[in-house]
Structure 1
Amino acid sequence: MRNVNPDDVEATPRPAVAIGNDYPPQFELARHSHRRAQLLYAAEGVITVDTEHGAWVVPPERAVWIPAEVSHSVRMVGAVKTRSVLIEPAYCLARAAQCEVIVVSALLRSLLVEAAESPPEYDIDGRDGLVMALLMAEVNLAPTILLAVPFPKSPGLAAKCHAFLARPDARVTIEDWCRDLNLERRTFTRLFRRQTGMSFVAWRQQACVLTALPRLAGGETVTGVALDLGYDSPAAFATMFKRWLGVPPSHYQSETRT
């Protein structure tokens, strides 16, 4: 697989261009943006995507949708192989105007891998063109899953969220944050949901999942991660984790070792 800089293909006269890149462990892409929208898929490994509005984690079987012109940075956890498609905004109107994590079906996964082997200026009326047309259709239809920690706009609340993401603690309560921010509980809960679209408890759990995934992919034990995040037991952490992702945390340890 050849490594391709997205900037080198953005002007290609095609509605969509697929690329693939292989990255060494812990590689980071500094904050940047694309003129086209991008679906970024980790064929192997785990990646995290950060914007000024939130953070997204992309484990296997998932991809992150990054709208056109959205400034973002990307961090690789372990060695990572990405397959992505850069799409002209007019061809992906069904997707959101903000980042989101989507489910990658077996068909979409195969299309991403196959399309990345096509030349940038593929024959639109040939096989490569048909593959790309089906790929764009699947991207528009792919279901979204909640796997993000959006950041609120209020400076004080945003600072608390950033600090929590840097050092998550599942034991922190609404009352703790209300006291620190000098807010009544009712005011806090209303403000938090309005600015993040999530309840505090759901946001706190998402932050723990987002932090845990790269650590699990890096080889840390479920027990170590669970206790470090403040859970009373590995079982309590695993229950929360499975509720959000549908699989136990051990799934992502084995997934990244295959």
Structure 2
Amino acid sequence: MRNVPLSEVDRVDRDVLPIATDYPAGLVLDWHEHRRAQFLYGATGTMVVETGSGTWTVPTAQGVMIPPATRHRVRMIGVSTSSLYIEPGAVPWWPTECVVVEVSSLLREMLLVAADLPAEYDRDGREGAIAALLLFELATLRSLPLHLTLPASADLVALCRAYLGKPEVGVTNAEWAGRVAMSERAFTRRFLREVGISPAAWRLRARLLAAIPLLRSQPVTRVASTLGYASPAAFSFAFSREFGMPPSAVGRREDTNR
């Protein structure tokens, strides 16, 4: 199925419903949730998935597992997607929080094939075997640490969301503390208690995640400069240390099958 709203087929008696969708650059799918679990794969572009508790940045040719009944929104940056909407009972092992995963070559090929399946595909023939194999392959995917935890309290969430919209290099803990009328020490302790990392470490991670869509169209030298790094080497070191992979692993990738 291609460019078919889930609402039209959600009640079809199939454990797995594959739907491929093309989105214009910059589109935001506003807050919504699905009854089914969702595996969302970006064949092109970059996606940023947000829930009430965090954000997940999904590079080109990778995917994200979204639990059923999870309220979320998605920002699309030049994205063509393939989604698998899965009955919760068919995947009792599904994560309870969103997870970015590294998509295998086999799964990419299978998603391409699955996009042409009808909603009421033959469960007992080749089409049903494809759907079953998709579930087996999903269970093997390696997670990628491309996420940010958001604070629980409204005032700290507001600070973080504003920073995600414009991740400026020069912002300090003292400035953030002043915005919520707290001392820097008390603010830092509170932030660490709610998020698990310091405000400075959180902002660093946010800036490095913001580099991922930039790396699709810009050289590392320019991205490093934009993010305030003295050299590409310094940026690459920080990126690799934070995420366990070099910037080249998430930049300038397109699905050659499309």
User: In 2, are the aligned partners of 1:19 and 1:84 still within 8 Å (CA)?
Assistant: yes
**Does the Cα contact within 8 Å between 1:171 and 1:231 map onto a contact in 2?**
no
* 3-state SS of paired residue (1:141): coil
For 1:46 and 1:15, the matched residues in 2 are separated by: 27
Query: What CA distance in whole angstroms lies between the structure 1 residues aligned with 2:193 and 2:95?
Result: 18
CA contact (8 A) 1:20 1:82 kept: yes
Give secondary structure in 2 for the equivalent of 1:255: coil
Range moving further from structure 2, 187-196 or 126-135: 187-196
Q: Counterpart of 2:230?
A: 232
Alignment of 1:84-99 (within 5 A): 84-99=83-98
Q: CA deviation at 1:13?
A: 0.4
Relative distance call for 1:121 and 1:183 in structure 2 (3 A) is farther
- For the pair 1:18 / 2:18, whether they are aligned, the reply is yes
TM-score, normalised on structure 1? 0.85
Aligned residues: 254
* 1:77 equivalenced with 2:77 (yes/no): yes
Q: Deviations over 1:222-253 (max 9, x none)?
A: 3333233232333222222233151325x544
Give 3-state SS (helix, strand or coil) of 1:82's partner.
strand
Shift of 1:61: 3.4
* Contact 1:239 1:248 survives alignment (8 Å): no
Tell me the secondary structure at the aligned position of residue 226 of structure 1: helix
- Which whole-Å deviations, capped at 9, do the CAs of 1:26-47 have from their partners, x for residues lacking one? 3332222211110100112212
- The aligned amino acid for 1:8 is E
Measure, in 1, the Cα distance between the counterparts of 2:187 and 2:93.
Answer: 33
- 1:2 maps to 2:7: no
Asked if the contact 2:107/2:134 (under 8 Å) is kept, the reply is yes
Q: Superposition pairs for residues 1-258 of structure 1, below 5 Å?
A: 2-78=2-78, 80-172=79-171, 174=173, 177=176, 181=180, 182-183=182-183, 185=185, 191-217=190-216, 219-243=217-241, 244=243, 246-249=245-248, 252-256=250-254
What is the CA–CA distance in structure 2 between the aligned matches of 1:151 and 1:233, rounded to whole Å? 30
* Paired residue secondary structure (2:253): helix
TM-score (norm 2): 0.85
**Closer, same or farther in 2 for the Cα pair 1:246/1:253, shift >3 Å?**
closer
1:182-238 CA distance string (max 9 Å, x none): 2564x6555434433445455333311321222333x34433332332323332222
Q: 1:138 to 1:196 in 2, by over 3 A?
A: farther
Query: 5+ residue gaps in structure 1?
Result: none
Cα distance per residue 1:55-90 (max 9 Å; x no partner): 221112321111112222222212x22111000111
Amino acid corresponding to residue 84 of structure 1 in structure 2:
S
5+ residue gaps, structure 2? none
Q: Percent identity?
A: 43
TM-aligned CA distance change 1:92 to 1:193, over 3 Å: farther
Q: CA 1:254 to 1:141, structure 2 compared with 1: closer, same or farther past 3 Å?
A: closer
